[in-house]
């Protein structure tokens, strides 16, 4: 996309290389500290809570990115490794600037979703769950046949997991409360900005292919009469 090319030429020098490595390390650090020192209350102090941000706790606009999923110590190792795998491969494919831009759009969309929800009276906390999901969707789009070991032993291509994630997003939009609905929408803003034109082109080609096949079948049937 031309506008991304222009931004890259102008701001490439500000890109953070190995961004996902830093995020994963900070997630791990927060998890270990919270696990070892429960009274640290890092999740309460770092969460994206618009009401507290408006009272001056502006660090939450960044620190919510460092909050890991609440899961077991064994599972968190797999989760953070998968985050690193996805992020590093996207950066290798796009370069540091484009990966930074994709992640930044996701972050800004998530923050916007939190404040919109707050404006409508919602006080729910939006996590990075949907933001990280947007990284996976980009990864699955670029590397659909990449295989991961589901439950550590079952090989499965990421394109199939991506379909489940899309179903999760639809489920969030239909059945979850407002903050989760907004987070679900926010999670795909960067995806459609980056891949929207390609998706539209693909749909047009498939539609044209369908029409051509239908025209051929109709012509074949008419010739046999």
> What φ, ψ does residue 55 adopt, rounded to 5°?
-90, 5
**Angle at CA of residue 194, ends 19 and 196, nearest 5°:** 155
Give the global pTM: 0.86
**Mean pLDDT calculated for residue range 4-26:** 92
pLDDT in tens, 104-144: 999 999 899 889 888 887 666 677 887 888 899 999 999 99
Closest-CA residue to 43 (of 14, 75, 67): 67
Helix %, strand %, coil % for the chain, to 5? Answer: 75, 5, 20
Instruction: Write down the mean pLDDT value for the chain.
Output: 86
> What φ, ψ does residue 150 adopt, rounded to 5°?
-70, 130
pLDDT in tens, 45-64: 999 999 999 999 999 999 99
- In three-state form (DSSP H/G/I as H, E/B as E, the rest C), the secondary structure along 70-92 is CCCHHHHHHHHHHHHHHHHHHHH
Burial 142-160 (b: 16+ CB within 10 A, else e): ebeebeeeeeeeeeeebee
- Cα(125)–Cα(103) distance, rounded to whole angstroms? 20
Q: How far is CA 21 from CA 27, 63, 71, 81, 207, in A?
A: 10, 16, 20, 10, 41
pLDDT of 172 higher than 70: yes
| β-pair partners for 157 | 147
**Residue labelled with tokens 């051929």:** 216
H or E element at residue 155: strand 154-157
Question: What domains does the chain contain, in order, with CATH numbers?
Answer: 2-197 (1.20.1540.10)
- Cα(173)–Cα(11) distance, rounded to whole angstroms? 35
């Amino acid at each position: 996309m031309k506008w991304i090319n222009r931004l890259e030429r102008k701001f490439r020098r500000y890109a953070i290389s190995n961004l996902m490595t830093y995020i994963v390390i900070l997630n791990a650090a927060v998890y270990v500290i919270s696990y070892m020192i429960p009274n640290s209350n890092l999740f309460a102090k770092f969460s994206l809570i618009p009401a507290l941000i408006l009272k001056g706790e502006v660090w939450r606009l960044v620190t919510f990115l460092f909050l890991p999923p609440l899961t077991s110590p064994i599972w968190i190792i797999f989760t953070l490794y998968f985050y690193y795998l996805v992020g590093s491969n996207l950066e290798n494919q796009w370069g540091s600037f484009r990966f930074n831009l994709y992640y930044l759009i996701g972050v800004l969309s998530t923050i916007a979703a939190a404040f919109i929800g707050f404006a409508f009276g919602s006080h729910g906390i939006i996590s990075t769950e949907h933001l990280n999901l947007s990284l996976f969707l980009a990864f699955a789009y670029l590397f659909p046949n990449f295989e991961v070991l589901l439950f550590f032993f079952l090989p499965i291509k990421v394109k199939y997991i991506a379909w489940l994630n899309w179903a999760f997003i639809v489920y969030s939009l239909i059945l979850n409360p407002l903050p989760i609905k907004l987070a679900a929408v926010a999670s795909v803003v960067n995806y459609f900005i980056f891949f929207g034109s390609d998706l539209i082109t693909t749909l047009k080609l498939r539609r044209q292919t369908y029409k051509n096949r239908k025209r051929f079948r109709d012509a074949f049937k008419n010739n046999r009469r």
